[in-house]
Amino acid sequence: MKTLNILFMFGLLFNLKPIMGMDASSQLQIIAFWAPWCLPCLQLSPIIHDITQRYMGRVLVIKINVEEQQITSEQYNIEELPTVIFLKEGRVVHRFSGTQSQGSVERLIHQFL
């Protein structure tokens, strides 16, 4: 059984650099903001999990429940769910809201790797 390289964030705020001993600033990070009552979030979830497995070691995937991480959600101006943010070298390089196909998400990953 593979261990997924996906982090579920709890608590108030987080700093990506010390997570799992990785230099998060140089690795592509995907932050998926979601809520358990959000149907489009539930539709996107299997794609996020598959991407986590396929790009293990190359992409850090973080899922953030907006109900538990209100401060972080506000910092990233999350107004729609799901919202997925791509970070590279600590900067937002792309974001989308709503559902996307797996192919669309993978094309974005390849664009920023």
41 classed as catalytic: yes
Catalytic residue among 19, 38, 56, 93: 38
pLDDT in tens, 13-25: 344 443 444 455 5
pLDDT in tens, 48-97: 999 999 998 899 999 999 999 899 899 999 999 999 999 998 899 999 99
Q: What is the pLDDT, as a whole number, of residue 23? A: 55
Q: What is the pLDDT, as a whole number, of residue 11? A: 37
Domains of the chain and CATH, by start: 23-112 (3.40.30.10)
Query: Is the per-residue pLDDT at 100 higher than 70?
Result: yes
Find the DSSP H helices in the chain.
Answer: 39-54, 70-75, 102-112
102 classed as catalytic: no
Burial letters for 67-76: b for 16+ Cβ neighbours within 10 Å, e otherwise? eebeebbeeb
Catalytic residue among 41, 48, 85, 105: 41
